[in-house]
Amino acid sequence: MDLTVSVKGLRIKAKKLDSDFYEFIKEDLEKSGIDITRDNSIESLFTAYLRLAAKAHNYDREIESIIKEIES
pLDDT 10s digits, 14-66: 999 999 999 999 999 999 999 999 999 999 999 999 999 999 999 999 999 99
Percentage of the chain lying above the pLDDT 70 cut? 100
The whole model's pTM is what? 0.76
Q: Say how many domains are in the chain.
A: 1
pLDDT 10s digits, 11-26: 999 999 999 999 999 9
What's residue 59's pLDDT? 97
Residue 53 backbone zone (phi > 0: left; psi -120 to 50: alpha; other: beta)? alpha
User: Cα angle vertex 20, ends 37, 54, to 5°?
Assistant: 80
Domain range for residue 63? 3-71
